[in-house]
Amino acid sequence: MKTYLEERIEWYDDNYRNGNALISDKQFNQLEKNLLRTNPNCDYFKKKNKLVLPSLEKDSIDKFLKGLLPDTRLLIEPKIDGCAVALQYRNGNLEKAISRKGTEITNKIIKVKDIPNHLPIKGILQVRGELYAPNQTPNISQRIASGFLRAKEGFSENLSFCSFQILNSTLNQYESKKSLSKLGFTIPHDISCNFTSQVQVFRKQWIEGKLFEKYPTDGIVLKINSRKLQLIREKSNLDYPYWQLAIKS
C-alpha cells in the first residue's frame, strides 16, 4: 500500500511531466530524499529506472559556487537553444526518445541524421541532449526544433542533435561526453577551469559573443566535472544540491 508521501511525490511528478510544475526542483528533490530514507523499496523507486529528462536549475552563479573547494574542476558548455531530448538504447538499439514533458517522440527522432539508431553496446544507455537548428538565431532554432516534434509529418534535414550527458552513468562529465563521442554522437565544445573566479570571465565572453559562436545559444551551462562531487552535492543537506547550472545572462 502506498504511503501518503509516495502518492504526493507521484502527483507532483505527473503534474511536472504535463508542464504544470507545482513545486520547485529543490523541494521535489528533498521529498524524494525523505521517501528514499523511509521507504527505499517502494514502487516509486522501482519505476525510476524509466527514462526521465531532468531540468536544469537556473540560479545565481555565486549560490552555485558557494561551498566548492577552490580546485574543483568545472566545465563550461554552451546552452544550446532548441528542444531537450532524452534517448534510451537497449542492447544497442534506440528504444525510446522523450521530450522535456515526457512525451514519447521516438518516431520523430529516428529521422534525425546524427542520432544513431544502433550502437555497439549491451545493456541500457540513457543519453541527454538538445535537438536544434544550426546556423540560426536561438529563437528560430527553438522554433524549428519544436515545430518538427509537434508536426505529424516532416523531415529533419535542417536539424542536429548535440549530446551532453549519459544519464545513467557513473562517469564524470568529461569522460561521459568522451564515451558519447566514441559511440558516434556529436558533443559540444567545452571549457575547463579550476578556479571559480574564472567563471565570470567566461560568462562575460559569452555575453560579448566571443564564446560558443557556432551554436545558437541562449546562455552557458556550468557543471561540476567529478561524479563523486556531483553525488555529494545531490545527496547533501546543503542549500544548493545541484551540480549543474544554466546561466542565461
pLDDT tens per residue, range 147-187: 999 888 777 778 999 999 999 888 999 999 999 999 999 99
Give 53-72 pLDDT, tens digit per residue.
Answer: 888 888 778 888 887 877 89
228 with 178, same domain: the answer is yes
Region of residue 125 (left: phi > 0; alpha: psi -120 to 50; beta: else): beta
43 with 139, same domain: the answer is no
52 within domain boundaries: no
Q: Which three cell numbers stand for residue 73?
A: 574542476
Question: Is residue 159 within 8 Å of 144, Cβ to Cβ?
Answer: yes
9 with 96, same domain: the answer is no
34 with 89, same domain: the answer is no
Number of domains the chain contains: 2
Average per-residue pLDDT in the chain? 88
Give 205-218 pLDDT, tens digit per residue.
Answer: 999 999 999 999 99
Question: Is residue 28 within 8 Å of 75, Cβ to Cβ?
Answer: no
Give residue 64's domain range.
57-247
Which residue in 221, 220, 240 sits closest to 230, CA to CA?
240
Question: What's the CATH code of the domain at 62?
Answer: 3.30.470.30
216 within domain boundaries: yes
31 with 81, same domain: the answer is no
What phi and psi values does residue 46 have, to the nearest 5 degrees? -65, -30
